[in-house]
Structure 1
Amino acid sequence: MRRKLVAAAVFAIAAGLLYPVAGSPAIARAAQVVRVDDLSPTRSAIFVDSPAMGRTVQVQVLHPGGGGDRPTYYLLDGLDPGATQSTWTNATDAEPFFQGKNVNVVLPMGGQASYYTDWAADDARFGRYQWETFLTQELPPIIDGYFAGNGVNAIGGLSMGGIAAYVLAVRHPQLYRAVAGYSACPDLNIAAGAMMFSIANRGGNPFNMWGGPGSAAWNEHNPAVLTEALRGKTLFLSTGTGIPGPHELEIKPQLPENIFFGGPIEMGVDGCVTAFEQRLRSMNIPARVEHSAVGTHSWSYWQDTLHESWPTIGGAIGA
């Protein structure tokens, strides 16, 4: 595969100069690929020199082994993403699940407590977080160039990543046809306190992200304020109730607090998803919202909902 990618590099670098995304700041130069490691015939690690982030970012891609172009699903991790392997491939069956499907699945590495957004200020703990620019401006032309992407995209994620998926979708509606949130709270009016706490709990300064809740910057990222931008997209949300279900005794990598607090966390998510669903309905914006009678904030349930969502998300992008 690597020899096939050499020619694509020229396209990707050039495309980076021709892939404007409304709402993203201009970058001085295009992101460039440092190297590509083929981890298997259908999984590659791509290392991208990101001008926005000021460092090299690893992204892993699940992709078909054959030729032909295909859509892309950007699948974001949770609060504590893997540094060398996405928790989606470490804690779920995402890799075998997507084998044989005509889609690129893009899994960014790193970004702990980042909410995959552009932070207003560099952080003493996390450094420079400019994930929105990276994910919406720098990375798409590289993925399309290296992995035969056809420019049709969806975005999804769990918990922090699901919030980010909806935030990126309302800020860049032209970029995504479908959006999925697994145990995610897209209403930042409700989620703000938990978001601020989660950043501080990981050692960051939450005010370095968008300032204080209620500021103009928070409203400029809030899907509950920018809901109209979701009209015409295929939307998926899922939540449990926090009541223990069939997966509680399984040993899975997950957020440390979820072992003890996964039930209460999911109960809060359920209330937020219900409120956001009502917001969508009040605006006559259709969405598929799955409320499970049981389920905590943990990976086995996200594997279940990934499977459950795929006919909706994959159908919307022609995968």
Structure 2
Amino acid sequence: MASGVALAVLIPLGVTAVGDGPPASAAFDPAAFDFWVDSAMGPIKSRILRAADGNTNRVVYVLDGQRAPETLNGWEIETNVPAVLASWNINVVMPVGGMSSFYADWNAPSSFFGVPPGSGSSVSGSGALNAFAAGPGKSYRYQWESFLTGNLREALRDRLGFSSIRNGVFGLSMGGSAALTLAAYYPQQFSFAGSYSGYLNISAPGMREAIRIAMLDAGGYNVDSMAPPWGPQWLRMDPFVFAPNLVRNGTRLWVAAASGLPTATDGPSFDTLNGMGLEALALANTRSFELRMATLGGGNAVYDYPAFGIHNWTNWQAEAYRMIPDLSANIG
């Protein structure tokens, strides 16, 4: 089913295969502050928003989508969700950057045909024209999983006093897949994980090539540098494959994908058409994941399938509002 949907998306539209919505326009929450942490990737910035009641036990990591910029996390740019989380007495951790990274530890820096990064010129925006430019994940190897579960986790504990256990994590699209990966392999750190419009069956026919196209469009990254095709490293990243871990861990999950039908606020445009196809692909992946979990006897997940919604921030913000009470009840 996923393969058929992927072809339906890719052939008539010629679009970004599995990315997120159009590039965001920057916003800034003055209540949040920059939190820099050294790592194997160099200094990495996160944005922190403290819980309204000042507690340090309730913490959630909020993951961006495929076009994650180096300035602010998309949730701060596009939504008021971080502020709402803080009002629920939850400390919000927003890692910044990681475009096309899937928040994974990559096999190698992104490159093509053995050409070292920096051989081309960086251009504004994202796209294949950046394929040979230097920059994040190209001048060095992405090691986001190690950062989120090691450097950042320890710095939050040691410098801010944040609890390093029973945290939450959620994200959209690329970040949704990554949230489930983190919960699957770090159950002590994450007691809750949420995936919105995630790609949860990435080993299905056609999905690797769909991701290849998306990563090329979102910053000019090479999927083969992330993980060799169909090997253990790739399968380790596939929620459909590691679903038994989530059942065994008993992690509370919130898994959502909309129908792909536009809402009244999604006007006629190429972005809307693109978002319809992308959400249909995410929906097929998510339904497959739900079936897989059911065959394993997993009763630890809430599934939400809104009747209207496409692959964009309007959909993801509304989904976050629905999820927050469940997140609040399952962390700390």
TM range (shorter): 0.7 to 0.9
Following superposition, the deviation at residue 203 of structure 1 comes to 1.0
Residue 265 (structure 2) aligned to one of 238, 247, 267 = 247
Query: Partners of 2:273 and 2:289 in 1: how far apart?
Result: 26
Given residue 156 of structure 2, which amino acid in structure 1 is its aligned partner? I
State the TM-score, normalizing by the size of structure 1: 0.80
* Letter of the 1:43 counterpart: A
Q: Is the 8 A contact 2:86 2:92 kept in 1?
A: no
- Structure 2 Cα separation of the partners of residues 80 and 193 of structure 1: 18
Counterpart residue number, 1:36: none
In 2, the alpha carbon distance for the partners of 1:250 and 1:106 equals: 35
RMSD (Å) for aligned C-alpha atoms: 2.1
Q: 1:246 to 1:315 in 2, by over 3 A?
A: farther
Report the Cα offset of residue 245 of structure 1: 1.1
- For 2:57 and 2:188, how far apart are their aligned partners in 1? 18
Quick one: which amino acid aligns to residue 209 of structure 1?
M
Give the TM-score normalised by structure 2. Answer: 0.77
Letter of the aligned partner of 2:85 in structure 1? F
In 2, the alpha carbon distance for the partners of 1:258 and 1:149 equals: 39
Q: Deviations over 1:41-60 (max 9, x none)?
A: x411111121x21x111100
**Aligned residues of 2:272 and 2:310 also touching (Cα < 8 A):** no
- In the aligned structure 2, how far is the partner of 1:281 from the partner of 1:267? 21
* Distance of aligned partners of 1:171 and 1:68 in 2 relative to their CA distance in 1, 3 Å threshold: closer
Query: Are residues 169 and 258 of structure 1, via their aligned partners in 2, closer, same or farther at CA, if it must alter by over 3 Å?
Result: farther
Return closer, same or farther for 1:299/1:99 CA change in 2, 3 Å cut-off.
same
In structure 2, runs of 5+ residues without a counterpart are 1-28, 111-116, 118-132
1:285 aligned to 274, 279, 298, which one?
Answer: 298
Pairs aligned (count): 272
Q: Which structure shows the bigger proportion of residues in strand conformation? A: 1
Partner of 2:252: 234
Change in Cα spacing, 1:158 to 1:250, as seen in structure 2 (3 Å) is farther
Aligned counterpart, 2:222: 205
Q: Pick from 167, 170, 176: which aligns with 2:184?
A: 170
Shift of residue 146, structure 1, vs aligned partner: 2.9
Displacement after TM superposition at 1:205 (Å): 1.7
Aligned-partner Cα distance in 1 for 2:227–2:159: 33
Q: Which residue of 2 aligns with 1:179?
A: 193
In 2, distance between residues paired with 1:100 and 1:192? 39
CA drift at 1:199: 1.4
Report percent identity of matched pairs: 28
1:73-100 CA distance string (max 9 Å, x none) = 1110001113211110111112331232
CA contact (8 A) 1:236 1:289 kept: yes
1:302 is aligned to 2:302: no
- 1:118 alignment partner in structure 2: 105
Larger relative contact order, structure 1 or 2 (CA cutoff 8 Å, min sep 6): 2
Q: Distance in 2 between matches of 1:189 and 1:69?
A: 38
Choose from 212, 217, 224 the match for 1:196.
Answer: 212
User: In structure 2, do the counterparts of structure 1 residues 147 and 246 end up closer, same or farther at CA, with 3 Å as the change threshold?
Assistant: farther
Tell me which residue corresponds to 2:5.
none
**TM-fit CA distance, 1:259:** 4.1
AA aligned to 1:178 is F
- SS of corresponding position for 2:255: strand
**Which residue does the alignment assign to 1:9?**
none
